Amino acid sequence: MPAEGQDSLPRVTVTTEPATLQEGSVGWLRVRAGDSAVVSGGEIAGEPLHLERSRDRTFRGLVAVPVEAADSLLVTLYLELPGRSDTLPIFVPVRRAGYLSETLSVPPAYARPDSAATARIQSEIERSRQVSRISQGNPRLWRGPFRLPRGSRITSPFGTARVYNGEVQSRHLGTDFAGAIGAPVRAAGRGVVALVADFYLAGHAVYIDHGAGLVTGYFHLSKAVVREGDTVIAGQRIGAVGRSGRVTGPHLHWVARYGAISVDPMSLLGLVKRER
């Protein structure tokens, strides 16, 4: 999609892969600018763009589309021109995902946490957000394809509206995989173990920082077999399936975030194909 900025700006062409991004997913943004311009970075949905320069003078970066995004998403590009800097706004189209809903019954204490539990949850959310903030300052660590953390049946897909005890309280911002307690859980891609914790909602959890803002999390584990600071590769065992935290039975809950944006972790699997 060609984009025209102010008259003094060079012509900039922006494309995405896939051609139309879907809400709640990741994809690639490719930018081609005139010979006199360098695309030094940008911003999308409040998060920075980490753009890498290719040999053909295009710039490529990972983008994440929030759930319930509008039909188009604003991307702000930062341009370095001879003697000055400038910004260029671009709108990219977004496709609806059509998420479903499901009803769950859980103990009242989990559906409506008391004040102490609520305070704990908020503190734990802040700890996980700090992992994402730090990741935005780290270089991209992953190369090669992302892999499923388990090869088992998916029991609940990303984006489903969760109805707890008759009330819509949240959206399922991860993908659930079936598994017996103790079954292996593997890293989806290369990265550094940024956090190993025991959370109220997520139970025993491992967060992996893949760099440049991308983080994956593995929840409700019975145990972790890695430590914070460990470097892991795709397919490496990092823990075991459990039923810790707010769950109705043993399973793995797999999440992916770009900064503060939760995305369908299954969308990670198509990134390398589009990178080539």
Q: How does pLDDT run across 115-167, given as a tens digit for each residue?
A: 898 999 999 999 999 999 999 999 999 988 999 999 999 998 999 876 665 55
- The CA radius of gyration of the chain, in Å to the nearest whole number, is 20
Tell me: do 65 and 174 sit in the same domain. Answer: no
Tell me: do 80 and 151 sit in the same domain. Answer: no
* DSSP helix/strand/coil, 45: coil
**Are residues 88 and 75 in contact, defined by beta-carbon separation less than 8 angstroms?**
no
Q: Which two tokens stand for residue 118?
A: 């609520």
Q: How far apart are CA 51 and CA 61, in angstroms?
A: 4
**Are residues 30 and 60 in contact, defined by beta-carbon separation less than 8 angstroms?**
yes
Least confident span in 84-98, 197-211, 217-231, 256-270: 84-98
Query: Which pTM was predicted?
Result: 0.89
Tell me: do 267 and 143 sit in the same domain. Answer: yes
**Are residues 125 and 113 in contact, defined by beta-carbon separation less than 8 angstroms?**
no
Tell me: do 30 and 162 sit in the same domain. Answer: no
Q: Which two tokens stand for residue 27?
A: 């994809």
Residue-level pLDDT at 185:
98
Q: Which two tokens stand for residue 136?
A: 């935005």
Confidence of residue 2 (pLDDT cuts 50, 70, 90): very low
Residue-level pLDDT at 5:
41
More confident residue, 176 or 114: 176
Span 222-244, average pLDDT: 98
Tell me: do 81 and 152 sit in the same domain. Answer: no
What DSSP line would sit under 68-111, residue for residue? T--SEEEEEEEEEETTEEEEEEEEEEEE-----EEEE---HHHH
Q: Which two tokens stand for residue 43?
A: 């911003």
Instruction: Please say if the pLDDT value at position 3 is more than 50.
Output: no
Confidence of residue 275 (pLDDT cuts 50, 70, 90): low
- In this structure, the dihedral spanned by the alpha carbons of residues 159, 160, 163 and 169, taken in order and rounded to 10 degrees, is 10
Place of tokens 């009803």: 103
Residue-level pLDDT at 54:
81
Tell me: do 134 and 232 sit in the same domain. Answer: yes
Tell me: do 127 and 52 sit in the same domain. Answer: no
Question: Which one of 95, 115, 131 terminates a domain?
Answer: 95
How many domains are contained in the chain? 2
Question: Which one of 40, 67, 95 terminates a domain?
Answer: 95
Evaluate the omega torsion of the peptide bond into residue 18 and state whether it is cis, within 30 degrees of 0.
yes
**Cα diameter, the chain:** 63
- Domain of residue 12 covers 2-95
Q: How far apart are CA 24 and CA 264, in angstroms?
A: 6
Residue-level pLDDT at 81:
86
Tell me: do 13 and 79 sit in the same domain. Answer: yes
Residue-level pLDDT at 255:
98
CATH number at residue 123: 2.70.70.10
DSSP H or E run through 272:
helix 271-275
Tell me: do 182 and 110 sit in the same domain. Answer: yes
Question: Which one of 95, 114, 141 terminates a domain?
Answer: 95
Tell me: do 134 and 249 sit in the same domain. Answer: yes
Give alpha helix (H) positions in 91-166.
Answer: 108-111, 115-135
CATH number at residue 77: 2.60.40.10
Confidence of residue 4 (pLDDT cuts 50, 70, 90): very low
Least confident span in 10-14, 84-88, 242-246, 270-274: 270-274
Residue-level pLDDT at 82:
84
Q: How far apart are CA 207 and CA 123, in angstroms?
A: 16
Residue-level pLDDT at 6:
44
Closest CA to 238 of 222, 256, 229, 226: 226
Candidate ranges 16-30, 34-48, 70-84, 205-219; pick with highest mean pLDDT: 205-219
**Are residues 70 and 102 in contact, defined by beta-carbon separation less than 8 angstroms?**
no
- CB count within 10 Å of CB 23 equals 21
Residue-level pLDDT at 274:
56
More confident residue, 3 or 216: 216
> Which residues lie closer than 8 Å to 73 by C-beta, 6 or more apart?
21, 44, 45, 65, 91, 92, 94
The string of pLDDT tens digits covering residues 53-106 is 887 778 999 999 999 888 999 999 999 888 888 999 999 999 998 887 766 666
Q: How far apart are CA 230 and CA 193, in angstroms?
A: 5
Residue-level pLDDT at 220:
98
Tell me: do 145 and 258 sit in the same domain. Answer: yes
Tell me: do 85 and 71 sit in the same domain. Answer: yes
